[in-house]
Chain A
Amino acid sequence: MKAEKLAEWVEHASGGQGLAQSDQGPRFPTTRDERWRYTRAGAIVGRPMRPVATAGQAPDSRPLPCLDAWRLVFVDGHFDSANSTLPDAGDLAEGVFIGPVSEGSKRFPEQASQWGHGHFSKTEWFAALQSSSAQDGACILVPAHLDLSSRPILIEHHLSGPGIVSHPRNILHIQQGAKAEILLWTSSDAHADGLVNLALDARVEADAELKLEYVQDEQGRNAHISHLAITQLEGSRLDMHTATARAHWLRNDVRIEQAGERGVSNFNGCFAAAEDEFVDHHTHVDHAQPDGRSAELYKGLALAGGKAVFNGKIVVHPNAQRIEAFQKNSNILLERGSTVYAKPELEIYADDVRCSHGCTTGQFDEDALFYLRSRGLTRPAAKRLLTQAFLSEALNGARAEVQAHVEAVMLTRINPA
């Protein structure tokens, strides 16, 4: 990609903001960069796209319509208050905020000055673009010792049509000893072909708990890059599920930093790449302090012509003793001509550490398939049952509505033959 062409694309895609400190900042990723070895971002910047000044059409219905939740809806990076369901300010305890960043930053200017732009904006080109072009997103502030988990908060980001890029910015701040359950949901219109370039910065303070579910269910042929940076302080807990139920071209970057002692991070993911689709999950957990635990399970499926990437990095810093870190990744190639690149990366600089990882990529067990067929299941039904079983392990612990939705979308979509 020529520098002038890229600059021209950036000019449009950033809505005239350009890239902050473009000279010293991160370079545009190519397959020569280890973190982008299998991921061709060049195609994205080959198509012109712009952020829109006013939001397009919101989808007709809300995801998980039966779920009793506070709902924040954003379309093309703009807050859609008409479709959102929010508490009245007076109904919430002092210091709680559930609303758009645009409003939260005005109501809580002191806190807002500390929000910053997350880990990735300094290391990743698309995240730098996101931060210089940041649009609206959800802001959830939970003050110390408040348990907000009785009602989940569903954040929906929708991309409404062709030629549009959105740069949503989401801020979660769970203060000491507080609890929250948050669902992040992305969708796109069938005609969307631009880019969702989303950032989420979460700070989970001492002894706080965050349950985070992230569902990506996009109908369009748009690209999607997520930058999720989660910082955990001492004794905090994160339970996270990520499901790429449907996406045309997607890259998820997750970084969890255990910046305090005794952090607990459980994070699972599942994804499927059908024909002509690309899904890339990069995860990175940083054990910077002692006595932390992390457990990670990612499961991937690929069909003919589908390509998926999993890269799971675990870093245990010197002096971060007595860490337990587990990682498991299994992938199934459902048909010939499907590809999964899987790579665990362990960097351990402390000596008293329990760390394990397992990574397998294969096909369905022919013996299991035959056993099911010998009991009257057709081959597709047998594969379906095995697929469901395969996914269920990664979805275990997510709320039932999320599990049901993700399974239903994935099973109908991949419909293995």
Chain B
Amino acid sequence: MLKIKNLHARVEGQEILCGLSLEMGSGEVHAIMGPNGSGKSTLASILAGRDTYEITEGSIEFMGVDLLALDATERAVAGVFIAFQYPVEIPGVSNMNFLRTSINSIRDQKGEEPMPAKDFLAKVKQCAKLVELDGKLRDRSVNEGFSGGEKKRNEVFQLAMLEPLLAVLDETDSGLDIDALRIVSSGVNALRSAERSFLIITHYQRLLDHIVPDRVHVLAGGRIVRSGDKSLALELEDKGYDWINEELAQ
């Protein structure tokens, strides 16, 4: 469903991704790990369609279409969702109004009717329960004054509401307390299906204890330098990244 080939991307004259390739099938869960500043969030932003990055080479194919030819809105409509590492606060826009507008905007662009208010409310209730999102947070302005963990939970709440085909979780685990980590992961697990794939960016094995990945990739220096099964994550947890760097140097 997702094929990234030899992706090169730069920002302000600096090359951040240099030849990144990655393939994912439908229903798969892949994890990306890698040192700080290696380009993980950059990859997430590029998938979302942020135009601050210049793609100098390579391609991204999503469900058979050229993802790079779509703008941010069109990608969301096509079924790409990013749970951001740093979700933005939007004062004055209520979470509910935002989600209703979002869902109906996607439906509208697909030529579908708006979601009936009753169905919307039922869905809100169901998805909020899934990640145990406090009712008060639903009615507040988008992310405004939310704690770090509440913001992450709100991202997964939106994920559940929008039902994307590809969900990228950028360090959704950081900032979550132990209980929240368990709740959010079981929420994500409940959303797994044969059609929906997850790309999980994380620094820690503990998230992968809950959400067990099919593949684990190491991103370093703007490329995938190693891929393996879930045991690769354990190995990284144990040994850090130095051994990979050393192996690469040889």
Contact = CB atoms under 8 A, between A and B. Distances in A.
Contact of A389 (B75, B76, B82, B93): B93
Contacts of B158: 375
Contacts of A373: 49, 71-73, 76
B25 to A, nearest CB: 24
A372 B109 contact: no
Contact of A379 (B48, B73, B92): B73
A370 B72 contact: yes
A371 B98 CA distance: 11
B98 A392 contact: no
A386 B93 contact: yes
Given A375-B98, A376-B162, A389 B91 contact: yes
Contact of A365 (B75, B88, B101): B88
Contacts of A372: 90, 98, 102
A390 B90 CA distance: 10
A382 to B, nearest CB: 8
Q: Which of A370, A372, A374 has the most CB of B within 10 A?
A: A374
A370 B48 CA distance: 9
A372 B109 CA distance: 15
Interface string B86-130: 011011110001100111011001000000000000000000000
A374 B92 contact: no
B77 interface: yes
A69 interface: no
Contact of A371 (B84, B103, B105, B141): B84
B73 A377 contact: yes
Nearest to A396: B92
B158 to A, nearest CB: 7
A110 interface: no
B92 A390 contact: yes
B226 interface: no
A102 to B, nearest CB: 44
Nearest to B102: A375
Nearest to B94: A389
Contacts of B102: 372, 375-377
Contact of B88 (A367, A379, A388): A367
Interface string A158-195: 00000000000000000000000000000000000000
A359 B144 CA distance: 21
A393 B94 CA distance: 12
A270 to B, nearest CB: 12
Chain A binding surface, main DSSP class: helix
A381 interface: yes
B188 to A, nearest CB: 18
A378 B73 contact: yes
B93 A377 contact: no
Interface in A370-417: 370-379, 381, 385-386, 388-390, 392-393
A376 B164 CA distance: 11
Contacts of B88: 365, 367-368, 370-371
B93 A374 contact: no
Nearest to B142: A371
Contacts of B106: 376
A330 to B, nearest CB: 11
A381 B100 CA distance: 12
Contacts of B97: 385
Q: 9 tightest A-B contacts by CB?
A: A389-B92, A376-B76, A376-B106, A373-B72, A375-B102, A371-B88, A389-B93, A373-B73, A367-B88
Interface of B: 48-50, 71-73, 75-77, 81-82, 84, 87-88, 90-93, 97-98, 101-103, 105-106, 109, 141, 158, 162
Given A367-B88, A374-B81, 20 more contacts: A370-B48, A371-B87, A371-B88, A371-B90, A372-B90, A373-B71, A373-B73, A374-B48, A375-B162, A376-B105, A376-B162, A377-B101, A378-B109, A381-B101, A386-B90, A386-B93, A388-B93, A389-B92, A389-B141, A392-B92
27 contacts: A370-B88, A371-B84, A371-B88, A372-B98, A373-B49, A373-B71, A373-B73, A374-B48, A374-B75, A374-B81, A375-B158, A376-B102, A376-B106, A376-B109, A376-B162, A377-B101, A377-B102, A377-B105, A378-B73, A378-B109, A379-B73, A385-B93, A386-B90, A386-B93, A388-B93, A389-B91, A389-B92
